[in-house]
Amino acid sequence: MKLTSRSVSRAVLVSAVVTATASAAVLVATTSANAATTLGASAAQSGRYFGTAVAANKLGDATYVGILNREFDMVTAENEMKMDATEPQQGQFSYGNADRIVNHARSRGMKVRGHALAWHSQQPGWMQNMSGTALRNAMLNHVTQVATYYRGKIHSWDVVNEAFADGGTGARRDSNLQRTGNDWIEAAFRAARAADPGAKLCYNDYNTDNWSHAKTQGVYRMVQDFKARGVPIDCVGFQAHFNSGNPVPSNYHTTLQNFANLGVDVQITELDIEGSGSTQAQQYQGVVQACLAVTRCTGITVWGIRDSDSWRASGTPLLFDSSGNKKAAYNSVLSALNNGTQPTGTTQPTTTTQPTNPGGSCTATYAEGQKWSDRFNGQVTVTGASNWVVTVTLSSPQKVIATWNTTATWDSSGTVMTARPNGNGNVFGFTVQHNGNWNWPSLSCRTG
Ligand code: G2I
């Protein structure tokens, strides 16, 4: 898009409004009498799970375990199911630490994500220098053995982790596994399906959040190809490690929806967002809302419990501080989960005609436009009199943050917009910052 100076200043203004309203929104506590009070329970209201990564050596920490047992209903072993942990010597499998996590979770009714069966990283020493057929067979044996050992106990497996290159190519990452042949990924998925037919089988990666990035497109094409050829893939995991250099992209919802449209579930698998306060809280809110807006986004996992448990603790990227206190980010996630409704328009649009108006009559019809995690577009088509005046009534705490093809004014509450022609015809539009409320606006038309 070509940016004129007018559109630039307008964009700055709009983004300032977005920031101000969204920051305010995350401070609003959920007051509904029925609101769930833990992450797992609030996610369960829409049939989703809310998980965390767990380290076996922290299962003796009372604060850690207290939060784990209270808040989460899905668990991922942070390191204990990786190839180096489960097969430290070729053919000798070691499940002690992984079992501690799996047993802790399952005995309390929590589900388990298996992470990860095949990966270029965290390979045991004996595997790192292998190549060719020997490596391919060793990898497939590993997938088969581990998935068989845990058969029936794993909700979703990260069958293959991080197999695509960063940067602008959209190509596979070079690795010893990749050099065994491009079909190594599908071979791993087939082995996993045979070993644990009841588990969902996921491809998992990072930097796949922005729809316009080459890596995202590369993964998308692989999943599309797998679905077309019947390779057994059920889900795509989006790790979602964000920071100021890699913020939550504005097209995040688009990415999740486009993958889901391929016929796979999508899961947010390792969420953490470096930062603090309302800025961090707002970004977390956007991620949760993006997932809630995609029917096939079946759950969210954060990559650790307290900031001090994080692989990047100095970035304070999690929902609990180092003492185990809930952060603003926690409150925004809980609030977003409790306010989550499907963005399909739970309220039918109202179209009203005023035939008795001496100035003539008009009808205003609403149509859904594009949707993002934090906002949606609406379009209004007016028929009848050309001197129309359309009243657009929002549901609190929605706010209109942009309009086009109309001259608009607002009442003092900011929720009732009066739109008139501005010389650009009889179809106008607006963007609503929904702040958790996806209801469609109601309309009425008069002349004036
Ligand atoms: O790097 C962040 C994550 C990216 N996606 C895949 C995940 O599996 C990965 O998790 C991290 C763990 O959070 C770290 O805890 O993976 C790292 C290694 O791949 C983990 O770091 C390792 C250290 O490298 C080891 O030196 C250490 O012994 O953690 C081990 C246990 O603390």
Say which range, 143-152, 239-248, 400-409, has the weakest mean pLDDT.
400-409
116 Cα: distance to centroid of ligand 1 (angstroms): 12
Question: Angle CA(36)–CA(41)–CA(47) in degrees, nearest 5?
Answer: 115
Which of 75, 76, 78 is the best mutation target for the ligand 1 pocket, counting ligand atoms within 8 Å of the beta carbon and taking the most? 78
Give the residue, by CA position, lying nearest to ligand 1 atom 15. 311
Residue 329 clears pLDDT 70, i.e. is over it:
yes
For residue range 361-388, list pLDDT tens digits in order: 888 888 887 777 778 888 898 988 889 9
128 Cα: distance to centroid of ligand 1 (angstroms): 17
Q: 40 is written with which tokens?
A: 């797992």
For residue range 125-182, list pLDDT tens digits in order: 999 999 999 999 999 999 999 999 999 999 999 999 999 999 999 999 999 999 999 9
Q: What is the pLDDT confidence band of residue 188, given thresholds at 50, 70 and 90? A: very high
SS3 content of the chain, % helix, strand, coil (to 5): 35, 25, 40
Is any ligand 1 atom within 6 A of the Cβ of residue 78? yes
Residue 404 clears pLDDT 60, i.e. is over it:
yes
Residues with Cβ < 8 Å from 299, sequence gap 6 or more? Answer: 43, 48, 49, 50, 51, 74, 267, 268, 291
Is 71 one of the catalytic residues? Answer: no
Residue 96 clears pLDDT 60, i.e. is over it:
yes
Q: Where are the beta strands (DSSP E) in 170-223?
A: 200-205
146 Cα: distance to centroid of ligand 1 (angstroms): 19
98 Cα: distance to centroid of ligand 1 (angstroms): 15
Residue with tokens 């375990």: 65
Q: How many CA atoms lie within 13 A of 368 on its CB side?
A: 13
Q: What is the pLDDT confidence band of residue 11, given thresholds at 50, 70 and 90? A: very low
Ligand 1 atom index nearest CA of 311: 13
139 Cα: distance to centroid of ligand 1 (angstroms): 20
Is any ligand 1 atom within 6 A of the Cβ of residue 158? no
Say which range, 137-141, 269-273, 284-288, 415-419, has the weakest mean pLDDT.
415-419
Is 270 one of the catalytic residues? Answer: yes
Task: Give phi and psi for 56, each to the nearest 5.
Answer: -60, -35
Rounded Cα distance between 443 and 51, Å, is 41
Give the residue, by CA position, lying nearest to ligand 1 atom 22. 79
311 Cα: distance to centroid of ligand 1 (angstroms): 7
What pLDDT sits at residue 344?
A: 40
Is any ligand 1 atom within 6 A of the Cβ of residue 79? yes
pTM for the model stands at 0.74
| Averaged pLDDT for residues 210-233 | 98
Is any ligand 1 atom within 6 A of the Cβ of residue 121? yes
Q: Which residue has the higher pLDDT, 31 or 181?
A: 181
Task: State how far the alpha carbon of 244 is from the alpha carbons of 249, 279, 309, in Å.
Answer: 11, 10, 20
In this structure, are residues 113 and 74 in contact, taking their beta carbons and an 8 Å threshold? yes
Count the neighbouring beta carbons within 10 Å of the beta carbon of residue 108. Answer: 12
Is any ligand 1 atom within 6 A of the Cβ of residue 244? no
For residue range 248-261, list pLDDT tens digits in order: 999 999 999 999 99
Give the residue, by CA position, lying nearest to ligand 1 atom 31. 79
Core vs surface per residue 403-439: b (16+ CB within 10 A) or e: bebbebeeeeeebebbbebeeeebebbbbbbbbbbbb
Q: What is the pLDDT confidence band of residue 438, given thresholds at 50, 70 and 90? A: confident
Long-range contacts, stretch 135-138, CB < 8 angstroms, 24+ apart = 135/176, 135/177, 135/180, 136/180, 136/181, 136/184, 136/187, 138/90
Q: 3-state DSSP call for residue 26?
A: helix
DSSP string, 429-447: EEEEE-TT--PPPEEEEEE
Q: 341 is written with which tokens?
A: 């409704």
Q: 379 is written with which tokens?
A: 């379009």
Rounded Cα distance between 208 and 211, Å, is 7
Residue 28 clears pLDDT 80, i.e. is over it:
no
Measured torsion, CA atoms of residues 382, 383, 388, 393, in degrees rounded to the nearest 10: -40
Give the residue, by CA position, lying nearest to ligand 1 atom 1. 311
Residue among 87, 162, 186, 274 flagged as catalytic: 162
Task: Give phi and psi for 299, each to the nearest 5.
Answer: 180, 165
Pairing of strands 265-273, 241-242: parallel
Is any ligand 1 atom within 6 A of the Cβ of residue 80? no
Is any ligand 1 atom within 6 A of the Cβ of residue 311? yes
